[in-house]
């Protein structure tokens, strides 16, 4: 699978661990930075990952910051992106099955490498259930056409 990944300074170490693990599993991982744990602004890294997912250069995205919330807020400004912060295995599974989330955001403050790898694995392996959920996801896509939304 083609995966776009990035972080801010707070998520740098966990992002690096995930990047290496995903590549070792055979995924094609595009790293959008940063290259160090030096202080930086999370929107600068959320946007290129979101755009890569929205325009099809990546099938899924993973973003890591301190809480996962800021990255989700920034990524969701790009039309076609459904970024979800998740803290449990059940949330990750349901956000894929019910919401067709295409970007997972993780909080480095809350997960060690093993936990983050587990959540990323669930995110990458779980499919979208479709059915009644497709109708709901379609309504989200309609909302993205509203004035002021950023297009890929």
Give domain status of residue 148, yes or no: no
**pLDDT tens sequence across 62-114:** 999 999 999 999 999 999 999 999 899 999 999 999 999 999 999 999 999 99
User: What confidence score (pLDDT) does residue 152 get?
Assistant: 52
**pTM for this one?**
0.93
112 in a domain, yes or no? yes
Asked if the structure places residue 92 within a domain, the reply is yes
Residue 130, Cβ density class (10 Å: 0-12 exposed, 13-18 middle, ≥19 buried): exposed
- Residue 152 lies inside a defined structural domain of this protein: no
98 belongs to the catalytic site: yes
Backbone angles phi, psi at 110, to 5 degrees: -110, -15
Q: Based on C-alpha coordinates, what's the Rg of the chain?
A: 14
> What's the confidence (pLDDT) of residue 62?
98
Domain assignment present for residue 127? The answer is yes
Question: Per-residue pLDDT tens for 7-65?
Answer: 999 999 999 999 999 999 999 999 999 999 999 999 999 999 999 999 999 999 999 99
Tell me the pLDDT tens digit for each residue of 106-152. 999 999 999 999 999 999 999 999 999 999 999 988 888 766 655 55
Please count the structural domains in the chain.
1
Assigned domain for 151 exists: no
Is 65 a catalytic site residue? yes
pLDDT at 107: 98
pLDDT at 88: 96
Write the CATH number for 35.
Answer: 3.40.1400.10
**Structure confidence at residue 151 (pLDDT):** 55
150 domain-assigned: no
Residues spanned by the domain of 87: 2-143
- Which of 9, 27, 40, 65 is the catalytic position? 65
**Cβ-contact 109, 11 below 8 angstroms:** no
100: left (phi over 0), alpha (psi -120 to 50) or beta: left
Check 9, 27, 98, 133 and give the catalytic one: 98
């Amino acid at each position: 699978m083609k995966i776009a990944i990035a972080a801010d300074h707070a998520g740098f170490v966990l992002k690096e661990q995930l990047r290496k693990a995903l590549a070792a599993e055979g995924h094609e991982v595009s790293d959008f930075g940063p290259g160090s744990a030096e202080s930086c602004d999370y929107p600068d890294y959320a946007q290129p990952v979101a755009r890569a997912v929205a325009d099809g250069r990546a099938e899924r995205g993973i973003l890591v910051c301190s809480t996962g919330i800021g990255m989700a807020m920034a990524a969701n400004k790009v039309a076609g992106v459904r970024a979800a912060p998740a803290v449990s295995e059940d949330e990750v599974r349901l956000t894929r099955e019910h919401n067709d989330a295409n970007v997972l955001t993780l909080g480095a403050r809350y997960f060690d490498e093993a936990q983050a790898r587990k959540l990323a694995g669930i995110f990458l392996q779980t499919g979208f259930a479709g059915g009644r959920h497709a109708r709901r996801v379609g309504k989200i896509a309609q909302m993205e056409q509203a004035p002021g939304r950023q297009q890929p």
